[in-house]
């Protein structure tokens, strides 16, 4: 067995009165993907920074045989660290190519080696056509892909990525993982990844669950999946120890609109910005009380469509009716609630001041406001914190407060634009319990955009968008069935010896790495066929099992189908 590349013993870190890490023991094995998972404030970023040699600490830490505490600078030539936040390791006034060249220069990469690897990375990320574009003009997903390129250009021995896919669409996330997996296979790179996406955690060779600065679990994610069915359930059981999140029950009633009514009807809607077609002949019908999700790559038109429904933007043609009324009419405004992707709360106001402002904007009766304010404060976990400045709140709590503010006037239609981006699984679960409660008890129609494909299964129906078009609309179950009918059943295998993917690719079988496991699919593929291929190549396996198609695979199937 190999020696650990990075080893931490009894490591602790304190910020004044806050204990960020407590007696951490951690071994990072070479040429593996190690996942660091935990809720907001668990200590993930602190742990990553200690491993990178950029933060002081108590205890012992070694990179190979180098003492990280005594010689932090000595380890940095072998490491690349990408901090949390879109584009935070980039120089916004440099172009895509200039950023990559700069990172290569500070790591003393030869020009020939730089150019060879740069072309490979630009091609793999799809950034090659944008090499002269300034970093500040890139989308969130493109910034993250450029950040990965800058981290990999020196061909480091260890890459540390802190929440690299927050705000990144599923297609870009798939591309990021393909790049990372190829580097591990080809160069033996070691990857340490902090993430709040449980489907990403399942792709890791081993995971560490952090909570309140302590490690609750260390080992193979397969062990947790077999015990709890999936990592999401494992996360809740380990962190909450069987206790549920705060109650999200709605303590008041509201007269419901008949479920037979159509909440939103969109016919022939088009919208362009100059020569760019943002919406292309959109036709949708959304039912009353439905939770309707929108999925799509960055720039697919999701936010533009929501803004047209809200009449923040005016469509070039077509009609949009909300509850049977033209969406441009003033009388419909008070029947809609909106939580925007970027701006929903006033960060320099307190919790109470934000709630009072929304109450004033929607002319809510004083007695009703008192009841509803108590409800929002309770579900957001802000009891006794009314005087807290909103900008100082953790992201998960801030998002629940924003949702409460947008629903304070009990609208008939609630529109949420990427409400859980960057939110940890515990906060996300609480958030979706609240959405479901509003839909079921009050009959609210909820429209939500998301990049987290786990959330697609929380919706009654979803629309997949790409390049301004709606390319598929149905329930998550039926979209999976369409994928299986066209592409075949999906199988998961767990090889116990090295697996060369070409043994399957040569037989036109799709294969995708998933940590130490692989997912396979092809029309008519059977378990016996897979076993015969493995046996012929002398590849031993722990198991072969049929699995439900991942929504990520379903999503990419429809995107690629329409592009052909």
**pLDDT tens-digit profile of 431-490?**
888 899 889 888 899 999 988 888 899 999 999 999 999 999 999 999 999 999 999 999
Helix (H) or strand (E) holding 304: helix 302-309
Same domain, 488 and 474: no
Q: For position 318, what pLDDT does the model report?
A: 97
Domain that holds residue 382: 262-478
Same domain, 486 and 464: no
Report how far apart, in Å, the C-alpha atoms of 502 and of each of 494, 505, 508, 511 are.
16, 5, 10, 9
pLDDT over 80 at 284, yes or no: yes
Q: Check if the beta carbon of residue 46 is closer than 8 Å to that of residue 20.
A: yes
Cβ neighbours around 412 below 10 Å, total: 22
Q: For position 171, what pLDDT does the model report?
A: 78
Q: For position 414, what pLDDT does the model report?
A: 95
Beta pairing class for 490-495 and 541-547? antiparallel
Same domain, 294 and 414: yes
The CATH code of the domain that includes 201 is 3.40.50.300
Q: Check if the beta carbon of residue 196 is closer than 8 Å to that of residue 425.
A: yes
Indicate whether 145 belongs to any domain: no
Q: For position 257, what pLDDT does the model report?
A: 63
Report how far apart, in Å, the C-alpha atoms of 426 and of each of 168, 260, 397, 420 are.
20, 34, 11, 11
Q: For position 252, what pLDDT does the model report?
A: 72
Indicate whether 384 belongs to any domain: yes
Q: For position 244, what pLDDT does the model report?
A: 52
Segment 163-194, tens digit of pLDDT: 887 767 787 788 788 888 888 888 889 999 99
Q: What is the mean pLDDT of residues 26-43?
A: 90
Cα torsion through 42, 46, 52, 55, rounded to 10: -160
pLDDT over 70 at 564, yes or no: no
Q: For position 164, what pLDDT does the model report?
A: 84
Q: Read off the pLDDT band of 53 (50, 70, 90).
A: very high
> What whole-number distance in Å separates Cα of residue 495 and Cα of residue 262?
50
Q: Name the more confident of 453 and 263.
A: 263
The CATH code of the domain that includes 496 is 3.30.70.100
3-class SS of residue 343: coil
Q: What is the mean pLDDT of residues 417-421?
A: 84
Same domain, 488 and 527: yes
3-class SS of residue 96: helix
Q: What is the mean pLDDT of residues 87-100?
A: 91
Indicate whether 138 belongs to any domain: no
Q: Read off the pLDDT band of 312 (50, 70, 90).
A: very high
Same domain, 324 and 464: yes
Long-range (24+ apart) CB contacts under 8 A made by 421-424 are 421/166, 421/167, 421/341, 421/450, 421/451, 421/452, 422/163, 422/166, 422/167, 422/196, 422/395, 423/40, 423/196, 423/395, 423/396, 423/399, 424/38, 424/39, 424/40, 424/42, 424/196, 424/396
Q: What is the mean pLDDT of residues 73-78?
A: 92
Q: What is the mean pLDDT of residues 126-132?
A: 90
> What whole-number distance in Å separates Cα of residue 224 and Cα of residue 202?
10
Same domain, 414 and 468: yes
pLDDT over 70 at 519, yes or no: yes
- 335's CB contacts (< 8 A; 6+ apart) are 322, 323, 411, 412, 413
Select from 409, 444, 478 the last residue of a domain.
478
Q: Name the more confident of 246 and 293.
A: 293
Q: Read off the pLDDT band of 314 (50, 70, 90).
A: very high
pLDDT over 80 at 241, yes or no: no
Q: For position 431, what pLDDT does the model report?
A: 83
pLDDT over 90 at 424, yes or no: no
Same domain, 322 and 222: no
Count up the domains in the chain and report the number. 3
Indicate whether 254 belongs to any domain: no
Same domain, 346 and 450: yes
Indicate whether 53 belongs to any domain: yes
Same domain, 406 and 289: yes
Indicate whether 327 belongs to any domain: yes
Same domain, 470 and 483: no
Question: Pick from 355, 450, 350, 451: which is nearest to 407 by CA?
Answer: 355
pLDDT-wise least confident of 154-158, 205-209, 460-464, 560-564: 560-564
pLDDT over 90 at 356, yes or no: yes
Indicate whether 538 belongs to any domain: yes
Segment 19-33, tens digit of pLDDT: 999 999 999 999 999
Q: Check if the beta carbon of residue 337 is closer than 8 Å to that of residue 359.
A: no
Q: Read off the pLDDT band of 248 (50, 70, 90).
A: low
Select from 460, 478, 496 the last residue of a domain.
478
Same domain, 60 and 206: yes
Indicate whether 144 belongs to any domain: no
pLDDT mean across residues, the chain: 89
pTM of the model: 0.84
> What whole-number distance in Å separates Cα of residue 496 and Cα of residue 485?
30
Q: For position 562, what pLDDT does the model report?
A: 66
Same domain, 494 and 514: yes
Select from 457, 478, 499 the last residue of a domain.
478
- 178's CB contacts (< 8 A; 6+ apart) are 124
């Amino acid at each position: 067995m190999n020696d650990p590349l990075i080893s931490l013993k009894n490591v602790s870190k304190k910020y004044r009165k806050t204990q960020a890490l407590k007696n951490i023991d951690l071994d990072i094995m070479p040429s593996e993907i190690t996942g660091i998972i935990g809720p907001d404030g668990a200590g993930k970023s602190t742990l990553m920074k200690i491993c990178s040699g950029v933060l002081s600490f108590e205890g012992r830490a070694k990179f190979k045989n180098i003492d990280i505490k005594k010689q932090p600078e000595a380890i940095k030539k072998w490491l690349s660290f990408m901090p949390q936040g879109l584009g935070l390791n980039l120089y916004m006034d440099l172009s895509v190519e200039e950023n990559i060249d700069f990172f290569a220069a500070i790591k003393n990469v030869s020009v020939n080696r730089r150019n060879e690897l740069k072309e490979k990375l630009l091609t793999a990320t799809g950034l090659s056509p944008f090499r002269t574009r300034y970093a500040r003009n890139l989308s969130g997903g493109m910034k993250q892909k450029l950040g990965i390129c800058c981290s990999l250009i020196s061909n480091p021995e260890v890459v540390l990525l802190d929440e690299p896919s927050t705000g990144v669409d599923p297609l870009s996330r798939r591309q990021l993982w393909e790049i990372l997996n190829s580097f591990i296979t080809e160069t033996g790179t070691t990857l340490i990844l902090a993430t709040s996406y449980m489907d990403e955690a399942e792709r890791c060779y081993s995971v560490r669950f952090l909570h309140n600065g302590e490690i609750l679990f260390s080992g193979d994610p397969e062990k947790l999946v077999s015990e709890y069915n999936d990592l999401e359930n494992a996360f809740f059981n380990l962190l909450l120890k069987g206790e549920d999140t705060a109650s999200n029950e709605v303590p008041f009633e509201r007269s419901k609109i008949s479920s037979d009514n159509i909440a939103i009807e969109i016919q022939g809607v088009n919208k362009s910005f100059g020569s760019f077609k943002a919406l292309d002949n959109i036709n949708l019908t959304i039912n009353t009380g439905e939770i309707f999700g929108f999925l799509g790559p960055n720039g697919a038109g999701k936010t533009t469509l929501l803004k047209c429904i809200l009449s923040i933007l005016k469509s070039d043609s077509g009609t949009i009716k909300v509850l049977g009324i033209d969406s441009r009419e003033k009388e419909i405004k008070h029947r809609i609630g909106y939580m925007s992707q970027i701006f929903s709360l006033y960060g320099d106001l307190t919790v109470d001041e934000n709630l009072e402002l929304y109450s004033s904007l929607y002319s809510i009766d004083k007695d009703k406001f008192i009841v509803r304010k108590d409800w929002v404060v309770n579900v957001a976990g802000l009891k006794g914190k009314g005087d807290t400045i909103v900008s100082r709140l953790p992201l998960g709590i801030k998002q629940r407060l924003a949702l409460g503010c947008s629903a304070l006037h009990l609208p008939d239609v609630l529109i949420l634009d990427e409400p859980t981006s960057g939110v940890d699984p515990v906060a996300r679960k609480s958030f979706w319990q609240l959405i479901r409660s509003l839909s079921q008890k009050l009959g609210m129609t909820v429209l939500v955009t998301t990049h987290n494909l786990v959330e697609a299964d929380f919706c009654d129906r979803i629309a997949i968008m790409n390049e301004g078009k709606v390319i598929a609309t149905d329930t998550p179950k039926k979209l999976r069935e369409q994928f299986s009918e066209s592409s075949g059943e999906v199988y998961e295998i767990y090889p116990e010896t090295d697996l060369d993917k070409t043994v399957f690719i040569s037989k036109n079988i799709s294969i995708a790495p998933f940590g130490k496991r692989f997912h396979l699919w092809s029309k008519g593929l059977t378990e016996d066929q897979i076993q015969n291929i493995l046996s012929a190549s002398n590849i031993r396996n722990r198991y072969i099992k049929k699995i439900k198609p991942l929504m990520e695979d379903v999503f990419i199937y429809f995107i690629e189908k329409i592009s052909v």
